[in-house]
Amino acid sequence: MVHALEEIRRLVKADGCLIDIHPIPNAALFKIHRGSELLLAEPDPGYDTDESIPRAEEALAEAVQRGLFLIERKDEFELVTYASTLAELRDYWAAYGAYDDTPKDEAVTAQEDAVYAKADEIMQNAPGAEITYHERARITRMEPVGEE
Amino acid sequence: MTIRVDPENNEPRALFSLADFNGQRVLEIGCGDGRLTWRYADKARHVTAIDAFEGSIARAMDNTPDDLKSRVEFRHTGFEDFAATNRAGTFDLAILSWSL
């Protein structure tokens, strides 16, 4: 990851900038609503052990420590994905390659399956319900340091 | 219903509060289907948007609005390969789009 940041530093002009956007650990939340009624709210178990997210934070910190970039500003926002069925949401993630396909820990997979089974059951019994998937993300503006 | 991602525009709002895209040469790494690219490309001078996932890039290419075709270039490539073939100081602004 830091090697990628070194390469980005090379490709960006000395007076340019880097914007990094990445999800915040343990923050994704899966919800089912029908109108204003909240039928389900569960953390996404997949994020609990997604090692790539803390690694992103570490890589940015290391890039600063190595003198590649300075952090100018940071902010956070919520990205919400809406779907009418669970299958639609999962098809979307699969089709767009939204997630790392490296095998997950067995316990995480079991926990994920339990959340999705619960969601499926609720959706079958609640016509008109809508699924929302909430991801918190951090956005950081970084300024290159030194010569190109 | 189709999938709707960020209809509240929270992501572009956060992006525009941190960066001015006017007249910039932009590199977006991990552009996916172009969801974020479309939000700023009309302001940029030129956008090179890359992703290692072929399906996403194909969708991005297919869905490129006509008025952006002259300034947005999508490439199916990994970042290391892309970096190896590009000169230093090519871009004003780089975006790591959920890809670090």
Which of the two residues, B87 and A24, has the higher pLDDT score? B87
Output the pTM of the full model.
Answer: 0.88
Torsion on CA atoms B19, B21, B25, B31, rounded to nearest 10: 80
Condensed to tens digits (0 to 9), the pLDDT of residues A67-84 reads: 999 999 999 999 999 998
B56 touches chain A (CB under 8 A): yes
> Closest Cα of chain A to B61: distance in Å?
13
Query: What distance in Å separates residue B78's CA from the closest CA in chain A?
Result: 11
Q: What mean pLDDT is predicted for residues B28-56?
A: 94
B99 compared with B41, residue with greater pLDDT: B41
> Phi and psi dihedrals of B40, rounded to 5?
-120, -15
Q: Name the minimum distance, in Å, from the CA of B59 to any CA of chain A.
A: 9
Distance, C-alpha A78 to centroid of its chain? 10
| DSSP character at residue B9 | -
- Tell me the pLDDT of chain A averaged across its residues: 84
Residues of chain B found within 8 Å of residue A22, distances taken between Cβ atoms: 96, 98-100
Domain count, chain A: 1
pLDDT greater than 60 at residue A122: yes
Domain span holding position A98: 2-144
Percentage above 70 pLDDT, chain A: 84
Give the β-pairing of B72-76 and B46-51: parallel
Which residues of chain B neighbour A142 with C-beta distances below 8 Å?
none
ipTM surpasses 0.90? yes
